[in-house]
Amino acid sequence: MIAHKLAVGQAVDFNGGLPSMPRPRGPFQVVSVLPVDDGNFPTYRVKSNAEPFERAAKEIDLVAVGLPPSKETTAAPWAGPVPGRWLPRPFRSR
């Protein structure tokens, strides 16, 4: 059985290999996971904020542009102090 590599809520875009179709406006968000089609390609429903409709897309036509929602961090790793690390005291003039 073929496993899906993209997750619902993940940011994706169409790769450049769509020669016969105008390039859709993205980025897109994975809305739902569809069953594997007849050619054993995992498929997805994707939605762009720039378009009022959803699209069905094969996994081979998509490229991930962001981490799945469960793996994204809310703050950058350099935004706060590192736990367990000594921080110098601020300089105070007299």
pLDDT score, position 85: 54
Q: How far apart are CA 85 and CA 88, in angstroms?
A: 10
pLDDT score, position 11: 92
Amino acid at site 66: G
Query: Over the stretch 68-85, which tens digit does the pLDDT of each residue have?
Result: 666 555 544 544 555 555
**SS3 string of the chain?**
CCCCCCCCCCEEEECCCCCCCCCCCCCEEEEEEECCCCCCCCEEEEEECCCCCEEEEEHHHEEECCCCCCCCCCCCCCCCCCCCCCCCCCCCCC
- Label residue 27 by pLDDT band (50, 70, 90): confident
User: Residue 49: how many CB atoms within 10 A of its CB?
Assistant: 10
pLDDT score, position 19: 62
Domain positions in the chain are 11-56
Q: How far apart are CA 85 and CA 12, in angstroms?
A: 37
